[in-house]
Structure 1
Amino acid sequence: MMIPDLQQLAAWLADTDIGLLELRTPQGHVRLRRDGAMPENDVLEELQGNAEASVPAPVAASKATATPPAVASSVGVFLHHHPLRGAPLAPPGAGVQAGQTVGLLQIGALLLPVAAPQAGVVASMLAAHGSLVGYGTALVELHPSMPPPTDR
């Protein structure tokens, strides 16, 4: 596992209430632990080398934009529409309210709603319908909704 991969995992961990994440691969295993202070103080423990180093949590690209995208809350298959319906839940160009369902995350037989983090206009779907996505993957790009014109 490369350092950018570990930094991405640390960033995802910082956005959750998970205190410990252990990952085992054929090449070794790592443990990411939140020390309880601030999310930026996530600690990387490389168990094979018995070394400990601080991994700064990089600012996610979604936090740099004015309108954050709708993201996956878990690993699953992203769906633009319900399996029993053909119409997309939120087609590009559609206005959505904060908390409105803009897609579905399928985990086995379970369908979880993917909610818009704030009101806006759906700009694009960042993940294809039926694609496997990981936790924190940006799924739907939103643009701020424009206020209605005022009459003067």
Structure 2
Amino acid sequence: MLMNINEIRQLAVWIRDAGLTVLELKRPGFELLIRRGEPGQNRALEPAAVRIAAESSAASAHVITASNPGMFVSTHPDERNSYVKPGDTVATGQLLGLLRIGLLYLPVRSKQAGRVVRFLAAEEEWVGYGQPLIELEG
């Protein structure tokens, strides 16, 4: 039983929605362990994320979401300035921030051109898969 990344991401969503903290699957030749923070902690964050997504659903707004769980940072530790700040104009594919997963940094890129309205995730905030990070306009 092999799983692709999209199936694992879907499992992470189901785990979050169910309020679970751990899922462990073991089969011959395959092991998967997914851990999340405390269920009360995650549920406390979800209503705000849902509210922000609803507020941002205007026709001209676009929300950049987390492609993976991790810690959101607006710049690499070796650099001084944030990649973008509210009010900046960005191009499609432009680097907006990073998701830190252990020692790995994954890029958060713009899926469309526009203007940064606001950050929806705080600096060094732990975020879940699909959580809103940045709101763009235009």
TM-score by length of 1: 0.56
Query: What SS does structure 2 have at the residue aligned with 1:61?
Result: helix
Q: What residue number does 1:72 align with?
A: 66
Correspondence for 1:128 among 122, 125, 132: 122
Q: Pick closer, same or farther for the CA change 1:70–1:93 going to 2, 3 Å.
A: same
SS in 1 for 2:108: strand
RMSD: 2.8
5+ residue gaps, structure 1: 1-15, 30-59, 145-152
Contact 1:62 1:68 (8 Å CA) reproduced: no
SS at structure 2 position matched to 1:65: coil
Question: Which letter does structure 2 place at the counterpart of 1:65?
Answer: A
Query: Which of the pair has more CA radius of gyration?
Result: 1
Q: How many residues align?
A: 98
Q: Secondary structure at the match of 2:72?
A: strand
Q: Residues 62 and 111 of structure 1: is their aligned pair in 2 closer, same or farther, counting only changes over 3 Å?
A: farther
The structure that is helix-richer by fraction is 2
Q: CA deviation at 1:62?
A: 7.8
Identical-residue share of aligned pairs (%): 39
Structure with the bigger RCO (C-alpha within 8 Å, sep 6+) is 2
TM-score (norm 2): 0.61
Amino acid at match of 1:61: A
Pair 1:94 & 2:88 matched: yes
**Structure 2 segments unaligned to the other structure (5+ residues):** 24-52
State the 1:101 CA deviation.
0.8
